Structure 1
């Protein structure tokens, strides 16, 4: 099962100059094995495509190797103070520092939230930011200067300098250079059929009449709680909460935007309770599993190729770490 990862971040200038930053998450190669994953298709955590994910330990190996090589690259570019950067655990994926004229939106993904928030207690704590909270529990945040951020990621916006300390920043930065050493090519420049099929399964599932029926039952439950959302996706977006936030800002009211608002938490709690009361998750999960099984059969050759590529990357990551520990 894929743990929470930042799937993408979108930095953009006020002028709407934009760039996408894909943050890769590794997968392992086959033949597919359970690696402790749920064996029963009735378990909501069971996902046929998850058999093509990396086991958690292999994912951590990739992360350690990426940051080990990235740290060496940063020292080479003149950031000697990072020579002893703590990599246990590895830092969270770098975020562009505030005050640089660029807004950044990060999107987090996790199999635990594939069908949205399900646990009222989790909803009360984190609103709709559970995947982000899970990721940040395992990866400590670190503040980077703009030169450090650019050197690490190579994600340039506008007139950002392409060099630092007289050295040209590698394509996709030091972390991108590390990925090329581990994978042989940058994962950002390669389509990932597993991610694509996971998305396709959801898209097809949501058009299924049984899925729409589950949405309707959930929506009716939410109306009794005072919310008018057609689908759980609408609740996550929360256009009504967005309007409230905008009005608060226009009237000079400010709050810590790194934490979910009280309104968001209340909506998420109602959302999770309605999923439980209407049997939403078992209903849509059965549809999702059926579609995923079909997609796996139709794309097995492509998936097996991706698996071999990922396994080779894990092997290289092991070798790189072994070389540096000897």
Structure 2
């Protein structure tokens, strides 16, 4: 970036994660499950009290040099190949840095396995039985809903971040029925067993990926020291 006249300081990696910072999203993997949070926030995310560092305020010209595109969206239109008379690398300085490191963190395989295990677990007879029991419990509370993922859509959201009384009531019933039917424990047990099998079936590929990611981290550390 400095070659093109830009001084840019990015927050350290990992200090500004999204609410669900990994694909598992355990706090809501099987829907909401915290009774205190449900009673206070409904289906909304609790307030984030962490102080997050502000990212750099990038001008359109800086974005073009950084990414090689007209916006931060990876599908944005590519920019012309020069800036201030200098050729912009294909993919911008961002891609150039990855090319120089020769390695990049890759979570594709574990992400796919994570998605597959959750999907397969929902077809397991034990989970299906627990979901049916949860649905019946919800029915007794006045809600017709097949699974916890659909419960979120039953009550219109205010959009203000402040849950309505109807949303709170629904969320409390949702979590209470999960507890009464032991849904989360049953579902998690099946999910975990599937993942154990996945690890065994993909052991070589996962070991190779671990080595690849370790090389990427070491390459980044060496570049920072340099």
Once the 2 structures are TM-superposed, how far is the Cα of residue 283 of structure 1 from its aligned partner?
Answer: 0.5
Secondary structure in 2 matching 1:207: coil
Decide whether the 8 Å contact of 2:43 with 2:163 is kept in 1: no
Match status 1:273 vs 2:169: no
Q: Where does residue 119 of structure 1 map in the other structure?
A: 34
Higher normalized strand content (fraction of residues): 1
Q: Where does residue 116 of structure 2 map in the other structure?
A: 200
Once the 2 structures are TM-superposed, how far is the Cα of residue 181 of structure 1 from its aligned partner?
Answer: 4.6
Q: Where does residue 29 of structure 1 map in the other structure?
A: none
In the superposition, the TM-score normalised over structure 1's length comes to: 0.53
Cα RMSD for the two superposed structures: 3.7
Q: Which has the larger radius of gyration?
A: 2
In the superposition, the TM-score normalised over structure 2's length comes to: 0.72
Match status 1:216 vs 2:136: no
* Structure 2 gap ranges (5+): none
Match status 1:292 vs 2:199: no
Once the 2 structures are TM-superposed, how far is the Cα of residue 118 of structure 1 from its aligned partner?
Answer: 1.1
For residues 125 and 111 of structure 1, the distance between their equivalents in structure 2, rounded to whole angstroms, comes to 20
Match status 1:305 vs 2:220: no
Secondary structure in 2 matching 1:199: helix
* Structure 1 gap ranges (5+): 1-72, 94-105, 246-253
For residues 222 and 151 of structure 2, the distance between their equivalents in structure 1, rounded to whole angstroms, comes to 46
Alignment of 1:127-206 (within 5 A): 127-128=42-43, 130=45, 137=50, 139-140=52-53, 142=55, 144=57, 147=60, 151=66, 153=72, 155-157=74-76, 161=79, 165-166=83-84, 168=88, 170-171=90-91, 174-182=93-101, 184-185=103-104, 187=106, 192-206=108-122
Once the 2 structures are TM-superposed, how far is the Cα of residue 273 of structure 1 from its aligned partner?
Answer: 2.4
Equivalent residue in structure 2 for 1:320, among 198, 202, 223: 223
Greater than 6 Å deviation, 4+ residue runs: none
For residues 92 and 277 of structure 1, the distance between their equivalents in structure 2, rounded to whole angstroms, comes to 33
For residues 105 and 14 of structure 2, the distance between their equivalents in structure 1, rounded to whole angstroms, comes to 23
